[in-house]
Structure 1
Amino acid sequence: MASIFTKIIEGEIPSHKIAEDHKFIAFLDVNPNAKGHTLCVPKAEVDKIFDLGEQDYLQLMQFSRQVAKALEKTVACKRVGISVIGLEVPHVHVHLIPINEMEDMSFQHKVKMSQDELASLAQEIGENF
């Protein structure tokens, strides 16, 4: 069965896409820890990050870095935090979270954003990509 991320990649589920190339996609988290919380996902459905081939792993990190730089240009923050947990969806994904305090990385604190706010933010970040 395809993961929710595969369904997003294939366009079966809508998302607020920031960037995409032939191997990776970045989109806003629909339940964000902070404004700009973004997921970077390989298009190939692989469960665990260390099961990626070495080249794919390195390319995912390069792609994530480019997205993080776009986030820094768009969302006011002290830095962009990175987390790879992967328990909730069996498909590799990198969380990029604009943070101002440690609590922003806790996955306990969530911010509410409307679909219009998410769409506008995704467009802004994408323009800085």
Structure 2
Amino acid sequence: MPSIFSKIVAGDIPSHKIAETDDFLAFLDVFPCAVGHTLVIPKKEIDYLFDLDDELYTGLMQFAKQIEPAISKAVPCKRVGVAVIGLEVPHAHVHLIPMNSMSDMNFNNKLKLSQEQLAETAARIKSFL
């Protein structure tokens, strides 16, 4: 059964896309820890990050690295934190989260943002790519 991320890749579920290549996709988390919380995924559905082959793993991290400067310019923060949890969706993914303090990466405190707020944030991040 396809993961929710595979459905986003296929266009079956709408998302606030930040960037996309043939192999990778970056989009806003709809249940973010902080404004600008972005998910970076391989389009190929593989459950566990460390099951990615070396080329796909390296490509995913390089893609995430390309997205980070746009997030840090669009969302004022001290730095963009990186997290890999991997339990919530069975599809390898990396969280890029703007941080001003450690509490900004608290996955138990999710923000409730409107679709308009998410769209504005996505547009702001994309403007710096």
TM-score (norm 1): 0.97
User: 1:93 — aligned with what?
Assistant: 93
For residues 96-107 of structure 1, the aligned pairs below 5 Å read 96-107=96-107
User: 1:46 — aligned with what?
Assistant: 46
User: 1:58 — aligned with what?
Assistant: 58
- Deviation of the 1:69 alpha carbon: 1.1
**Aligned-CA RMSD value:** 0.7
Give the Cα separation in 2 of the matches to 1:57 and 1:32.
24
The answer for unaligned runs of 5 or more in structure 1 is none
Give the Cα separation in 2 of the matches to 1:34 and 1:44.
27
Give the Cα separation in 2 of the matches to 1:79 and 1:47.
28
Q: Deviations over 1:77-104 (max 9, x none)?
A: 0000000111010000000000011011
For residues 1-129 of structure 1, the aligned pairs below 5 Å read 1-129=1-129
Q: Which aligned segments of 4 or more residues in structure 1 are displaced greater than 2 angstroms?
A: none
- Deviation of the 1:112 alpha carbon: 2.0
Percent identity between the two aligned chains:
58
- Deviation of the 1:128 alpha carbon: 1.1
Name the count of aligned residue pairs.
Answer: 129
Query: Could you tell which deviates more after superposition, 104-113 or 51-60?
Result: 104-113
The answer for unaligned runs of 5 or more in structure 2 is none
Amino acid in structure 2 at the alignment position of 1:82: V
Q: Secondary structure at the match of 1:85?
A: coil
